[in-house]
Structure 1
């Protein structure tokens, strides 16, 4: 048994759970959240909620900067043997960990995912060693990916299973918690239910659990279980006690307030947000500077990119510094003169490594004192590339020459077949299986009038760009047809590499179809406004966030406020891994751009055939969409936005 360092888990105190209000699907603000944002927590120390709650109540994400928060997931399906964890949900969880500064992440020892789908409810795993190995592997990956300590929670087992049970209940839980070096979250009500169902003595069952790693307790009836709670506080490194009562029902409960004071009196420790050290900006080699001093990246410094790192090169001075891509936002921050204090506002900048990198950049002279820039003098624009230096670098770097070697299709197929034996081809589908799914109308059942009866030449001639939508709604049928005949798969079949060949109405380089689309619904009949992902596999919408985009979509499109009158807009991104697997050269990015153009034209024609107005714009604030949709811009860059309406 390895030693357990409980100091990784700071004291959190006593908190309550957040439950989605009844009828949360109807949208709107939750008065409980609004009150906390305005007034803070009334008499308890933290609020615990699930990452999935942020999809239906986006304002929850703002709590992290206002009040102490603990994140508790139930959707990562750690026990699904042979099934990869939901990558998109992993990314969302990591962003929430960063944004809320949750001191740890909790997850159930359970499974919900299966090949091609998700039950949407966690299920207890069998007590087999293979399942335990799967939970351990996924738990280790989860901790590394989120950069957040993990606590694993027991779930209730309501009946005994003799088939495939190689470990005892307590032995299974101890095995996965200890081998993954996680903390333990004891749900007392679940433990009581399990002991009753399996005929265990409750105290014997509790002693079989990894109490030496006990970090958090969920308790439904503190008065009933007071003696157990007192003993746990004496024998375990317990850091948080979550009372499983909905905050909405208890915001003004004097009895609960008194109860929490009694619980906190059992042990008094400083809490994790109290007396937190405030980082200060590092000083350059020449001496101390004020945090308001301006610094910028040294002119002539080149940025080069690798798989998981990037390098800063100053060829004149022979400097070549390689850094992890997690520090790229910090470096990009200083492409123009910025204060050192402003860098400390970047996500994760208060961590020691970021401060150390900032110090090193200053000491090496890669960051140098800058000056505030006023209005620049007019420059000579005779050279078409004068203002396109970054584009020129890309163009020249991907330009081919007369002697540029190419291989035949047969050679390419032979190479890919060999590669597929070593590295699986990235999936042609992107799925958000853990998110709510809304099926779309079957497009193949649409009547001829719904599609229009114009000839192709008529549609081509009638197509025009609209900048004056009238705000009228789109029908659910029109939305289905737009998505299917632009981005949907009209055919699919297995390819020799183990994935799928998709056929769409637009051509795609290498038949890879790297473009993903995110419908942002503003006014569509039968659907709530919000951010969605289009599932090509299932021809439906996966809900990413139930928020009204009309408040920010105009600003995100370069202050084009008219676009908020569209009924729906579609954001196109590129899954670069699909291209990179087949095409290792940088020229592959040109393929993604061409694919996006093909799809954009198809969209405009389908919209015209449906009698809709359409628009296309690349005047986007990429970072806004990346943040709203949770996109990794180095893996899935934003390219283009199309809109439709009346």
Structure 2
């Protein structure tokens, strides 16, 4: 396994920029941003952002493409997005396999119905986005709390979209754990059902324990032990790929976040060591 793939990343926050630039963290191999939050940014923050990219490769994880929504794709937004991705030589661009708008943007990720019609609809939109951006797109398996009108399983739906759209997968390990508890399925079996050759990179994050059978995907807590364990299983299934730590709320110090980034590295190295021993 290439050591270039044994990489751990961190979402870049504006309030961490001064610390990040003063001493770029050695154990952060790449950074990720939501492009909507940085496109067209100028002034001091714009200069700091450009300086950060001198030190670390950039991945982008979108928030508003609305792949499953009823609105036509926003071509003006896609033009601006393409310019941003090309300008900053973005390594990978991903979006949520969800809906997030109708007449306006809801700032929430709504599940797409697990039906054949929805597979065809969203796959066509993903193909159109890939053609417009002239690059592959990775879609993320999302957390959800209801599945009205489902005619297939979540796993069947994701695999069908990946196949028909011929796109990549952003594998969110935390979302598998959350969904498996909320909807009563086996997280490891779900993971093994995903096509490993489609995985572009991985997300890990924390979630809230609301009840024994209810977890809420908040990105507002430390990564749970179940998520760390499933991350190790993910490397066994897909190999060691770049893995990003997400944290959106209840933000601790940068040092605390870097401790979790280091845990990603440790799990990656454990898997690589096992692979070396297995092959003699």
Change in CA separation of 1:137 and 1:196 when aligned onto 2, cut-off 3 Å: same
Q: What residue number does 1:64 align with?
A: 53
What is the total number of aligned residue pairs between the two structures? Answer: 246
Give 2:18's match in structure 1, choosing from 24, 34, 39. Answer: 34
Q: What residue number does 2:8 align with?
A: 14
In 2, distance between residues paired with 1:202 and 1:109? 19
Residues 67 and 97, structure 2, Cα contact 8 Å, conserved in 1: yes
Matches within 5 A, 1:188-267: 188-220=173-205, 221=223, 223-245=225-247, 249-253=252-256, 255-256=259-260, 258-266=262-270
Give 1:145's match in structure 2, choosing from 110, 117, 132. Answer: 132
Q: What residue number does 1:48 align with?
A: 32
Q: What residue number does 1:96 align with?
A: 84
Give 2:74's match in structure 1, choosing from 86, 93, 117. Answer: 86
What TM-score comes out, normalization by structure 2 length?
A: 0.76
Offset at residue 250 of structure 1 (A): 4.2
In 1, distance between residues paired with 2:16 and 2:254? 8
Can you list the C-alpha shifts for 1:601-637, whole angstroms capped at 9, x where unaligned?
xxxxxxxxxxxxxxxxxxxxxxxxxxxxxxxxxxxxx
Gaps of 5+ in 2: 206-222, 273-280
In 1, distance between residues paired with 2:86 and 2:123? 23
Q: Confirm whether residue 109 of structure 1 aligns to residue 100 of structure 2.
A: no
Offset at residue 246 of structure 1 (A): 5.8
In 1, distance between residues paired with 2:15 and 2:107? 27
Q: What residue number does 1:315 align with?
A: none
Q: Confirm whether residue 184 of structure 1 aligns to residue 169 of structure 2.
A: yes
Offset at residue 170 of structure 1 (A): 0.7
In 1, distance between residues paired with 2:164 and 2:16? 39
In 2, distance between residues paired with 1:204 and 1:258? 27
What TM-score comes out, normalization by structure 1 length?
A: 0.35
Question: What SS does the corresponding residue of 2:38 show, helix, strand or coil?
Answer: helix
Change in CA separation of 1:74 and 1:155 when aligned onto 2, cut-off 3 Å: same
Higher-Rg member (1/2): 1
Gaps of 5+ in 1: 1-6, 20-29, 269-646
Give the structure, 1 or 2, with the largest relative contact order (CA under 8 Å, sep 6 or more): 2
Q: Confirm whether residue 126 of structure 1 aligns to residue 130 of structure 2.
A: no
Offset at residue 175 of structure 1 (A): 0.8
Question: What SS does the corresponding residue of 2:28 show, helix, strand or coil?
Answer: coil
Change in CA separation of 1:131 and 1:258 when aligned onto 2, cut-off 3 Å: closer
Can you list the C-alpha shifts for 1:97-122, whole angstroms capped at 9, x where unaligned?
112212110101111232x4332322
Change in CA separation of 1:137 and 1:99 when aligned onto 2, cut-off 3 Å: same
In 1, distance between residues paired with 2:84 and 2:40? 14
Question: What SS does the corresponding residue of 1:245 show, helix, strand or coil?
Answer: coil
Can you list the C-alpha shifts for 1:320-355, whole angstroms capped at 9, x where unaligned?
xxxxxxxxxxxxxxxxxxxxxxxxxxxxxxxxxxxx
Can you list the C-alpha shifts for 1:290-343, whole angstroms capped at 9, x where unaligned?
xxxxxxxxxxxxxxxxxxxxxxxxxxxxxxxxxxxxxxxxxxxxxxxxxxxxxx
Can you list the C-alpha shifts for 1:338-389, whole angstroms capped at 9, x where unaligned?
xxxxxxxxxxxxxxxxxxxxxxxxxxxxxxxxxxxxxxxxxxxxxxxxxxxx
Change in CA separation of 1:12 and 1:226 when aligned onto 2, cut-off 3 Å: closer
